Amino acid sequence: MGKIISIGGSLLKHSLLLTGILLLDILTEFHDFFTISKLQQDQYEVLVIELILKGAFIWFLHWLYFRQLKRFNPNGYGLKPLSRKNTLIFLIGVASLFALLCVESLTPFNADNATNQVLVNKFIRTAPLLASVDAVLAAPIIEEFILRGIFFNYFVNKNTIMSKIFVVLVSGFVFGLLHEPHFTVNLLVYCTMGWLFGSVYALTGDLRYSIALHILNNVLAFVSMF
């Protein structure tokens, strides 16, 4: 009974932490507090302020992530030296990403209609420079720290195959819901991306690989709009 209470308390504490982090993430979206006309007029000022906010938030996530790794890290996650194994895993991840994008482009379903993508497209038309920095660079780093780094190491950090599969599946599903909150085929596309990023992190043990893959995905998505 005591063990169940302890596990429940830990899950509640970590859930509150994750909720707080997601709320902080929303607050860093400084451009959301402006009207379209005002954002177009003050795009560069908003860019500077948002870069400061997001930079501070990324620093906080970095500190939180590595603090947890120092406390308890049975999977050995962290900064790894360059190796053939991790390079191969990353290249397989890149090939899988291109395959996923090709399959998506050849089907009648279009991720451009997804809730997240509609908002991104509107953002790009309103403030292209701000949107490019936010979508291509800041968003992938923040999302990987939260949904892979922190989620993996605060919730399910047992060094077993089943626990890794479970946390990859759950984090990928959460990633999908954050980008497409409706049960459509677009949700499956985003979930698959989340599962791919999570798999790369779990297999390499280094968050930089999933961040790089996520940035590549967003660069390709951004370029395809023009």
Q: What's the gap between Cα 127 and its chain centre?
A: 22
- Residue 32 within any structural domain of the chain: yes
- Residue 62 within any structural domain of the chain: yes
Q: Rounded to an integer, what distance in angstroms lies between the CA atom of residue 68 and that of residue 150?
A: 8
Question: What tens digit of pLDDT does each residue of 109-131 get?
Answer: 555 555 566 556 666 666 677 77
pTM of the model: 0.89
Structure tokens at 37: 């006309």
- Residue 17 within any structural domain of the chain: yes
Q: Rounded to an integer, what distance in angstroms lies between the CA atom of residue 144 and that of residue 141?
A: 5
Contact 219, 137 (CB under 8 A): no
Long-range (24+ apart) CB contacts under 8 A made by 123-129 are 123/31, 124/222, 124/225, 126/36, 126/39, 126/40, 127/31, 127/39, 127/40, 127/43, 127/46, 127/47, 129/43, 129/44, 129/47
Q: How confident is the model at residue 88 (pLDDT cuts 50, 70, 90)?
A: very high
Domain count, the chain: 1
Question: What tens digit of pLDDT does each residue of 133-182 get?
Answer: 888 899 999 999 999 999 999 887 788 899 999 999 999 999 999 888 88
pLDDT, position 43: 76
- Residue 1 within any structural domain of the chain: no
- Residue 217 within any structural domain of the chain: yes
| Residue 15: domain span | 7-224
Q: Rounded to an integer, what distance in angstroms lies between the CA atom of residue 147 and that of residue 193?
A: 12
- Residue 2 within any structural domain of the chain: no
- Residue 117 within any structural domain of the chain: yes
